[in-house]
């Protein structure tokens, strides 16, 4: 039992007053003459016992009456927790990730959670509401009701640990308040499972929202599987998380126009192909109808008209093989000797190849340094008779140099499949046993700062990358090496040149670190923006002579097709899609967590919280008891003789 006014309990000491009165019988006696002593003795004997009992009963009733009155004024109550004089802090974390699009017993899990919060929370109670991407601190449901109803799903959900830390950081630092954390989520099984350390200052309440259906089909990705001058084949990948499904209908639109339809049966994963005309700008959307999650039923992609890359070969050796790699449909390839080089043409290039030059002039070294600083790609193929001093001056700009020339045979045996020029789309699988090319002369280089793409059998690099520099450690002419006969030479030079201008991919994923280049030269006061009919933003961008490098991560917030614009001019179209990591509807078992209370709905949680904080007031009972003892005293005085 607790008291709202415990200081009034000191009045109980006043109960000693009636005790003293009754014990000492504070009365004044009068002397009366009475001649018959025998009669007096008889009366005294008959009344002594009843008189003593009456006095004790009166004393008891008066003590109880006063005690009940004092206790009533101190307002006693009972509750499960000592909460009456403690300030309370409540932080509610509401999971607004895409997995809460799934339907529960009463509709969409996220929408139902918002409705329950509005209905169950005291409109004027101060709370802090937090989501993955929003905070409403020290407010009331009444004040933020409209904001709640307009909450949307986040494209960048926090990990569970980060969400818990974010929620706890919103409590005050004082230990004098009672802190309640309400964490509302479906507790989807992600890379990092939900866990929460014990905190004696914070009561943690978990609400697990459970969907009625965990089946889901997702449009996972799309890639170009075949391409020729007339047609391009797109391969769409679908993933099924649930029971096998027959005849899933797929539609392909270009600029809101339906251009193809297909149907596929899917157990766990399926692929289907679509054929579109080559060299056609496509603002494409794949879509399906699925009763599961909605965010992964649409996949946006773009095919832009690619910009041609300018490739310059400065050569003292046969470079006919380069003209076969850098074909006119994708490249503007130019070949010249060092003596006939037009220096003014260098700033217009994207990639420059030094093909077995014996010497490099200081003026060319300076121009090449500026060229790579402006984002250009430099490929160096050494000569066996190179000017060591000139090459050292050039390569010092990239923290490397050619050391010693060895005249011995070595085989090229190792491919770095994770290197950017071979990653993803060069090899379908890793090749283990192939006919190893070899060289008869090679240089050693400083390996520490480089990233080897191809290596010799002893682990030393044959082709290594230093930022914008690709460095061969051996000549590749036919007298020294048979590398030109190896099929990998084509994708190697092709992808090295492509590093100088990263064309936009078919699509990008919101939340990932995305980067691409726009082939444009801007004036000093110009800036690129990304926009569609609903939104626009200015991305992070870096300016070079022949391009602008753009980086995005958390913007845009909505999936769709966007335009990269310079003022009113559209330069490229870019597609962004939501991350598919929440498409798999598997959930964590949180019943094993300790030091938390778990509810399966928001109403049941609030019923529990109200029960835990319910106050049973007892002062009315003590008033009733006081009146009862008063009546009992009056009855004793009237009828007890």
Residue 22 · residue 95 · CB < 8 Å:
no
Task: Determine the average pLDDT of the residues in 192-199.
Answer: 82
How confident is the model at residue 398, as a pLDDT?
Answer: 87
How confident is the model at residue 83, as a pLDDT?
Answer: 52
Residue 22 · residue 59 · CB < 8 Å:
yes
How confident is the model at residue 537, as a pLDDT?
Answer: 92
- Give yes or no for residue 507 having a pLDDT over 90: yes
Residue 451 banded pLDDT, cuts 50, 70, 90: confident
How confident is the model at residue 38, as a pLDDT?
Answer: 61
Give one word for 19, left, alpha or beta, with left for phi > 0 and alpha for psi -120 to 50. Answer: alpha
Task: Determine the average pLDDT of the residues in 434-463.
Answer: 83
How confident is the model at residue 191, as a pLDDT?
Answer: 77
Provide CB contacts within 8 A for 553, sequence distance 6+. Answer: 511, 512, 513, 514
- Give yes or no for residue 242 having a pLDDT over 80: yes
- Give yes or no for residue 190 having a pLDDT over 90: no
DSSP-derived secondary structure for 22-41: HHHT-----------HHHHH
How confident is the model at residue 300, as a pLDDT?
Answer: 96
How confident is the model at residue 45, as a pLDDT?
Answer: 56
How confident is the model at residue 434, as a pLDDT?
Answer: 65
Alpha-carbon span 442 to 417, nearest angstrom: 23
Residue 321 · residue 329 · CB < 8 Å:
no
Q: What percent of the chain has pLDDT over 70?
A: 88
CA 530 to chain centre: 23
How confident is the model at residue 574, as a pLDDT?
Answer: 94
Alpha-carbon span 155 to 442, nearest angstrom: 51
The residue among 298 and 458 whose pLDDT is bigger is 298
Task: Determine the average pLDDT of the residues in 205-223.
Answer: 90
Alpha-carbon span 383 to 321, nearest angstrom: 17
List pLDDT tens digits, range 319-371.
Answer: 888 888 898 888 999 998 888 888 888 888 899 999 888 888 999 999 999 99
Which sign, positive or negative, has the C-alpha torsion 366, 368, 369, 375?
A: positive
Strand segments (E) across 356-423: 377-381, 402-406, 410-415
Looking at residue 125, what DSSP letter applies?
-
List pLDDT tens digits, range 134-147.
Answer: 999 888 888 888 98
Q: Which of 127, 153, 92 is nearest to 599 (CA)?
A: 92
Peptide bond into 556 cis (omega under 30): yes
Strands across the sheet containing 216-227: 216-227, 231-241, 269-277
- Give yes or no for residue 2 having a pLDDT over 80: no
Task: Determine the average pLDDT of the residues in 307-315.
Answer: 89
The residue among 63 and 403 whose pLDDT is bigger is 403
Q: What distance separates the 2 farthest-apart alpha carbons in the chain?
A: 161
Task: Determine the average pLDDT of the residues in 535-564.
Answer: 90
The strand pair at 245-254 and 282-288 is best described as antiparallel
Residue 298 banded pLDDT, cuts 50, 70, 90: very high
> Domains in the chain, please, with CATH?
2-28+36-79+618-639 (no CATH), 88-213+590-614 (3.40.50.410), 216-303 (2.60.40.1490), 309-498 (3.40.50.880), 508-577 (2.60.40.10)
- Give yes or no for residue 25 having a pLDDT over 70: no
List pLDDT tens digits, range 161-171.
Answer: 899 999 888 88
Looking at residue 468, what DSSP letter applies?
T
How confident is the model at residue 598, as a pLDDT?
Answer: 85
The strand pair at 528-531 and 536-537 is best described as antiparallel
List pLDDT tens digits, range 370-393.
Answer: 998 888 899 999 988 888 888 889
Give one word for 299, left, alpha or beta, with left for phi > 0 and alpha for psi -120 to 50. Answer: beta
Alpha-carbon span 401 to 209, nearest angstrom: 61
Provide CB contacts within 8 A for 338, sequence distance 6+. Answer: 314, 316, 357, 359, 360, 361, 364
How confident is the model at residue 94, as a pLDDT?
Answer: 92
How confident is the model at residue 417, as a pLDDT?
Answer: 83
Backbone angles phi, psi at 269, to 5 degrees: -150, 145
Q: Which of 324, 9, 342 is nearest to 333 (CA)?
A: 324
Residue 509 · residue 577 · CB < 8 Å:
yes
Provide CB contacts within 8 A for 137, sequence distance 6+. Answer: 128, 170
List pLDDT tens digits, range 3-12.
Answer: 667 777 777 7
List pLDDT tens digits, range 72-110.
Answer: 777 776 665 555 556 788 889 999 999 999 888 888 899
Count H helices and E strands in the chain, helices first.
11, 37
Alpha-carbon span 222 to 274, nearest angstrom: 10
Which sign, positive or negative, has the C-alpha torsion 400, 403, 407, 408?
A: negative
Confidence (pTM): 0.75
In 3-state terms the chain splits into helix, strand, coil percentages (rounded to 5) of: 25, 30, 40
Cβ atoms within 10 Å of 589's Cβ, excluding its own: 10
Mean pLDDT of the chain: 84
List pLDDT tens digits, range 598-638.
Answer: 888 888 787 776 665 556 676 677 788 778 877 877 877 77
- Give yes or no for residue 174 having a pLDDT over 60: yes
How confident is the model at residue 89, as a pLDDT?
Answer: 84
How confident is the model at residue 39, as a pLDDT?
Answer: 59
């Amino acid at each position: 039992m607790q008291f709202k006014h415990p200081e009034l309990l000191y009045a109980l000491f006043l109960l000693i007053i009636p005790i003293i009165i009754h014990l000492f019988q504070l009365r004044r006696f009068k002397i009366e003459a009475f001649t018959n002593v025998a009669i007096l003795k008889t009366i005294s004997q008959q009344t002594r016992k009843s008189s003593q009992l009456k006095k004790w009963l009166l004393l008891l009733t008066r003590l109880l009456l006063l005690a009940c009155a004092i206790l009533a004024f101190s307002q006693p109550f009972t509750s499960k927790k000592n909460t009456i004089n403690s300030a309370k802090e409540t932080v509610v974390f509401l999971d607004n990730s895409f997995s809460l699009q799934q339907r529960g017993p009463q509709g969409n899990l996220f929408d139902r959670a918002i409705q329950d919060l509005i209905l169950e929370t005291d409109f004027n109670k101060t709370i802090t509401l937090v989501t993955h991407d929003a905070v409403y601190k020290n407010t009331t449901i009444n004040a933020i009701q409209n904001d709640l109803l307009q909450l949307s799903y986040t494209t960048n959900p926090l990990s569970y640990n980060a969400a818990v830390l974010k929620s706890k950081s919103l409590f005050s630092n004082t230990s004098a308040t009672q802190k309640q954390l309400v964490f509302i989520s479906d507790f989807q099984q992600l890379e990092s499972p939900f866990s929460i350390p014990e905190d004696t200052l914070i009561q943690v309440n978990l609400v697990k929202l459970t969907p009625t259906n965990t089946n889901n089909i997702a449009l996972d990705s799309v890639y170009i599987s075949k391409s020729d001058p007339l047609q391009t084949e797109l391969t769409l990948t679908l993933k099924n998380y649930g029971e096998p499904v027959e005849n899933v209908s797929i539609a392909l639109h270009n600029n809101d126009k339906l251009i193809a339809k297909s149907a596929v049966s899917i157990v766990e994963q399926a692929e289907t192909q679509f054929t579109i005309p080559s060299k056609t700008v496509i603002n494409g959307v794949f879509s399906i109808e699925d009763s599961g999650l909605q965010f992964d039923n649409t996949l946006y992609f773009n095919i832009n008209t690619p910009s041609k890359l300018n490739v310059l070969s400065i050569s003292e050796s046969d470079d006919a093989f380069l003209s076969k790699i850098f074909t006119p449909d994708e490249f503007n390839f130019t070949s010249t000797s060092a003596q006939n080089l037009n220096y003014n043409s260098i700033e217009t290039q994207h990639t420059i190849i030094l093909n077995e030059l014996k010497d490099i002039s200081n003026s060319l070294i300076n121009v090449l340094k500026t060229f790579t600083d402006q984002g250009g790609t430099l490929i160096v193929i050494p000569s066996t008779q190179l000017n060591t001093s000139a090459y050292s001056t050039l390569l010092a700009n990239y923290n490397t140099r050619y050391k010693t020339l060895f005249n011995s045979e070595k085989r090229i045996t190792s491919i770095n499949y994770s290197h950017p020029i071979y990653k993803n789309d060069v090899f379908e699988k890793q090749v283990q046993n192939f006919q190893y090319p070899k060289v008869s002369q090679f240089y050693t280089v400083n390996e520490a700062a480089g990233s080897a793409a191809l290596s010799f059998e002893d682990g030393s690099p044959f082709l290594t990358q230093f930022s914008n520099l690709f460095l061969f450690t051996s000549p590749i002419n036919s007298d020294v090496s048979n590398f030109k006969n190896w099929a990998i030479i084509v994708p190697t030079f092709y992808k090295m040149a492509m590093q100088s201008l990263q064309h936009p991919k078919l699509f990008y994923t919101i939340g990932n670190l995305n980067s691409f280049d726009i082939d444009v030269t801007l004036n000093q006061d110009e800036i690129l923006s990304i926009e569609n009919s609903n939104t626009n933003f200015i991305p992070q961008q870096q300016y070079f002579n022949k391009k602008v490098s753009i980086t995005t991560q958390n913007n845009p917030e909505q999936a769709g097709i966007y335009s990269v614009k310079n003022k009113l001019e559209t330069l490229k179209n870019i597609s962004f899609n939501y991350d598919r990591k929440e498409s798999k509807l598997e959930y964590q078992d949180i019943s094993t967590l300790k030091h938390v209370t778990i509810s399966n709905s928001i109403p049941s949680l609030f019923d529990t919280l109200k029960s835990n904080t319910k106050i049973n007031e007892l002062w009315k009972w003590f008033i009733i008891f006081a009146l009862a003892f008063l009546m009992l005293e009056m009855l004793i005085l009237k009828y007890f003789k």
